[in-house]
Amino acid sequence: MEDLVESILDYVRADYTDYAIMINGEWGSGKTYFWNNKIRNKIDSLTFNGKKYTTIYMSLYGISNLEDISKKIFIETTQLMDKGIKKYMATHDKTTIPEYAKTGLDMAHFFGAKHVNERVDYSQFFATDDKVLCFDDLERANVDVIDILGYINNFVEHDHIKTIIICNEKELSTKLKSSNLEMKTFIATYLLDKEGSLLKADKPMVEKIGEKIEYVFDKANDYERIKEKLIGETFEYAPKFSYIINGLLMRYESNPDLIRFLREHTNLITNTFIKSGTRNLRILKHALNDFQKIFETVNKFYPNTNLRVLQTMLIFTIAVSFEIKAGKITKDKFVNINSNEEYKSILVSSRVLMDNRQFYIKEFDNNYYFNFKSEYRFFKFIEVYVRTRIFDMKIFKNDMEMIIQTIDTEKLPGYKRLLTEEYWKISDDQFPIVIAEVIDNVQNGDLKLLELVKLFAYFSYFSRRKLIDYDMPTIKMIFLKGMDLVAEKSEYCSNIDEELSRIGIDAGEDMKDILKHFHELNKELEKQMYRNKAEEIFKCIPMKMETFYEKFTTECMNEPILNYYDTYQMIQRITCASNEDIVKIKEMLVDRAKKNKKELLPELPFIISVRDALFEYCKDKDVSIKIVMLKEFANDLNTIIELYSDMPKKVIYKRKKPIDIESLENKLNTI
């Protein structure tokens, strides 16, 4: 790095130059930091041939015309020449006027120029024979790069002003090729058509258009020509990141605990940064800012947190920041992983069962945690914080409580060790004990239904490798019986595909039988879940109508919940409701069916049976407002039925058990 600094100073000290120099480096690699902290002060303190040089720095970010560049130079030079402003700068420890101050001022008038009613030629206002110009962010200007370089060439070639250009040539090349791409494509297509070669089958059309664009609009070659004329030397900025990182850590000096922790683990920061495969120090800076919040919150609420956990949090914060912010993955890559247990389950499946469907997670872990042993490697609250910028205290506390419970893996239940830990990490002495414990869990119905499916995959793997004394028929029988037993107290699993995608499912016949049985049991659990839900919601009619409306409109508008409720009970509740509620329920059901016809098809037999039961109930009844409302209710159910008039008759007229009206009326009379 010192060699680079000295080379730049040699350029500044040269008696005569008619060229500029370029510092090229990736975005976020610290080029501007390098200029401000290693170059600028040395040039400003340099005296050569009786001249004391002064730097003028300009970011071209967002510049929309060449006059803006002249104005910026004018502002910078004038502030340095004016004694009053220099005194103000020194008093307030400033080296430049803030950008927000420049924006709001008529700078020419502010500095005494009287060209109020005419266009100002700012380039006439400054002398730059003792100045060193630095133009940063060349690739981010909104002016044609060729025009900017031509403008800068006037200073360099004619006035021999020392000029340094800082840019990212990789992005500059991309910008040159992609600018006005739609217009270029249109013109290239037009020219090819005029030449009669557009529809020829000699090569793909996309390739033809691309070649024509490159031939007609070859800005890249224009850039290379003017660069060859203007730039005498290009220096590749490849910083020693240990130096840069030490500079970044200085901002945390006010927090003794944090700065001590970070300095003690500079190697973790540097290694994780290198493993990210980028040179973007800006992302690293943001990641360290995020970690400050994480570190302070952990120490506030959980001051005795294990050091290894804090170290892993530091690695994970930096790693996730680079994966998301450098565009290496989509933001939602980690969204469906909700805990360290799920994360490790994916890893175990991918490594033990050679499942490549979660290839990215395995590569992420192999990359960032290589040679770093830690049982807790995924922190949901950190992932959410980096991805959404929201520090969710509820998720944070859930994660921390789980860390406290699981940090010692030998105290974990055996089944969790198999699901979240590579089996080869279990000692030979412990392995039979773990297997026996899991078998007991399965036979006693202690586990969840989905956990049994996952565990069967591992037991199948162990059996094939003779690691356990159970043959496949025995294991299969144990697990099928265990599934029947546990199904009685399990809950419905709605995200089956997602959960099963996290393990390498053996496509053998034994696993197919296990999966088939699982789906059958899970389907029954789904029906029971909806039955319970329907009972909970409809029991609110007629006494708790506000609760009914709230639950039904928020939870059941596109779910066929009616399919799981008893027709007899529905008639009983509707006929006991007020006339106003009868009308409201009717309108709600019709509107719901119109908006969600496809999803609510399974309810059709129930709707038909309720309609018929209401007509039967109202028959021969004396006319009253309630009877009229109930008849209208039944008629409007026909509106729902007619929505499915294009369905086969066997679907439409498939009815439930007929309603016993006499029994119903006897029941109603007792209410």
Least confidently predicted of 32-46, 237-251, 561-575: 237-251
Task: Report the sign of the C-alpha dihedral through residues 424, 425, 427, 432, in that order.
Answer: negative
Least confidently predicted of 286-300, 342-356, 567-581: 342-356
Together in a domain, 247 and 370: yes
CA distance 626 to 618: 10
Tens digits of per-residue pLDDT, 371-406? 888 888 999 999 999 999 999 999 999 999 888 776
pLDDT of residue 107: 46
Together in a domain, 555 and 474: no
Domain for residue 440, yes or no?
A: no
Q: Strand 20-24 to strand 51-52: parallel, antiparallel, or no bridges (unpaired)?
A: unpaired
Single residue among 527, 555, 585 that ends a domain in this structure: 527
CA distance 248 to 259: 11
Q: How confident is the model at residue 117 (pLDDT cuts 50, 70, 90)?
A: very low
DSSP string, 304-370: T--HHHHHHHHHHHHHHHHHHHTTSS-GGGTTT--SHHHHHHHHHHHHHS---TTHHHHHHHHHHST
Together in a domain, 559 and 635: yes
Higher per-residue pLDDT: 350 or 656: 350
Please state the domain count of the chain: 4
Average pLDDT over residues 449-455: 89
Question: Among residues 132, 149, 131, which one has the least CA distance to residue 141?
Answer: 149
Domain for residue 414, yes or no?
A: no
pLDDT of residue 94: 52
Domain for residue 425, yes or no?
A: no
Together in a domain, 501 and 554: no
Residues with Cβ < 8 Å from 12, sequence gap 6 or more? Answer: 43, 46, 48, 53, 132, 162
Tens digits of per-residue pLDDT, 309-333? 999 999 999 999 999 887 766 667 7
Report the run of H or E that residue 433 belongs to, with start and end. Answer: helix 431-444
Domain for residue 185, yes or no?
A: no
| Most confident by average pLDDT, 72-81, 235-244, 574-583 | 574-583
Phi and psi based region of residue 284 (left: phi greater than 0; alpha: psi -120 to 50; beta: remaining): alpha
Together in a domain, 575 and 653: yes
Together in a domain, 518 and 554: no
Question: Among residues 247, 246, 178, which one has the least CA distance to residue 213?
Answer: 178
Report the run of H or E that residue 135 belongs to, with start and end. Answer: strand 131-136
CA distance 355 to 348: 9
| Most confident by average pLDDT, 86-95, 408-417, 470-479 | 470-479
Statement: residue 67 has pLDDT above 70: yes
Single residue among 527, 554, 583 that ends a domain in this structure: 527
**What CATH number did the domain enclosing 109 receive?**
3.40.50
Q: Which domain holds residue 11?
A: 2-176
Q: What is the token pair recorded at 82? A: 């004016």
Statement: residue 101 has pLDDT above 60: no
Higher per-residue pLDDT: 223 or 567: 567
CA distance 345 to 420: 5
Tens digits of per-residue pLDDT, 430-439? 899 999 999 9
For 132, half-sphere exposure in the C-beta direction (CA atoms, 13 angstrom radius) is 27
Tens digits of per-residue pLDDT, 164-205? 999 888 777 666 655 556 666 767 776 777 777 777 777 777
Domain for residue 650, yes or no?
A: yes
Specify the pTM. Answer: 0.50
Q: How confident is the model at residue 353 (pLDDT cuts 50, 70, 90)?
A: low
Question: Which three-class secondary structure state does DSSP give residue 24?
Answer: strand
Q: How confident is the model at residue 667 (pLDDT cuts 50, 70, 90)?
A: very low
Phi, psi of 624 (to 5 degrees): -150, 170
Statement: residue 670 has pLDDT above 80: no
Together in a domain, 373 and 467: no
Single residue among 132, 159, 176 that ends a domain in this structure: 176
Together in a domain, 160 and 249: no
Residue with tokens 């990212």: 168
For the chain, give the mean pLDDT: 80
Question: Among residues 286, 280, 288, which one has the least CA distance to residue 252?
Answer: 288
pLDDT of residue 129: 66
Statement: residue 664 has pLDDT above 60: no
pLDDT of residue 230: 83
Question: Among residues 101, 100, 120, 98, which one has the least CA distance to residue 109?
Answer: 120
Domain for residue 266, yes or no?
A: yes
Domain for residue 187, yes or no?
A: no
Least confidently predicted of 183-192, 529-538, 586-595: 183-192
Together in a domain, 259 and 148: no
Together in a domain, 482 and 546: no
Together in a domain, 131 and 6: yes
pLDDT of residue 185: 74
Together in a domain, 484 and 561: no
Q: Strand 47-48 to strand 20-24: parallel, antiparallel, or no bridges (unpaired)?
A: unpaired
pLDDT of residue 543: 92
Domain for residue 195, yes or no?
A: no
Q: Reduce the secondary structure of 407-429 to three states and give it as a string.
A: CCHHHCCHHHHHHHCCHHHCCCC
**What is the percentage of the chain residues whose pLDDT exceeds 90?**
29
The vertex-225 CA angle with 239 and 10, nearest 5°, equals: 40
Q: Strand 51-52 to strand 54-59: parallel, antiparallel, or no bridges (unpaired)?
A: unpaired
